[in-house]
Amino acid sequence: MITPQDACVQTEAVCKLAPIVPVLVIDDVTKARPLAEALVAGGLPALEVTLRTPVALEAITEMAKVEGGRVGAGTLLTPADVAAAKAAGATFGVSPGATDALLTACEAHDLPTLPGAATATEAMKLLERGYRVQKFFPAEASGGAPALKAIGAPIPQVSFCPTGGVSPKNAMDYLSLSNVLCAGGSWVAPKDLVAAGDWKAIEELAREAAALTA
């Protein structure tokens, strides 16, 4: 069983591996491992596989075999999701929001998790439970970098990984904030390049994203 405090230490370490955490929707499990290899080779070792497709759990298992990678499960919604993600080999979790039942399950299954918050109240509730590392979601729809900066002023104890609408055009707006550890982005693994198996192009996108610094 993991405590919220220990979970934060581990999720913070994951967030500090690279400025961008790829947010991945995997439709074809045969693409999972080479995709992970390309992203890791490009300098993005922390990978979030969203539980939005029938093969997502299999994809996590395949990606977990890639040396140097840290594979997590995104879109955790229920305790059952947490158990399945852990069994598949996920080493961290990400959720769009947070409920007591979900957080309790993450703690019970020893799965360090990045819980989602979009408002100061949500951030405060998570902080009260011990979660000082959170996901700001949906980032752009919730006011973008200006909103996250405003939340950080009265709640500097919390660090965030903004996700949702983050792109090469606005990534630095987030990464330059003192309360941002990294950002989640899907642009490093475009569906067309994944479908075509163009791993070199994806590796290059990953390398460009890995070079983003505040």
Enumerate the active-site residues: 48, 135
CA distance readout (Å), 187 to 46, 87, 133, 156: 15, 28, 23, 29
Task: Tell whether omega for the bond before 138 is within 30 degrees of 0, i.e. cis.
Answer: yes
Residue in the structure block whose two tokens are 């990534």: 171
Torsional sign, CA 152, 120, 70, 194 = negative
Cα 55 to Cα 36: distance, rounded to the nearest angstrom:
15
Residues facing residue 184 across a β-bridge: 21, 163
Cα 111 to Cα 73: distance, rounded to the nearest angstrom:
10
Rounded to a whole number, what is the largest CA-CA distance in the chain? 46
Residue in the structure block whose two tokens are 């979030």: 48
Residue in the structure block whose two tokens are 């996920």: 90
Q: Are 151 and 135 in contact (CB under 8 A)?
A: no
Residues facing residue 1 across a β-bridge: none
Residue in the structure block whose two tokens are 């994806």: 202
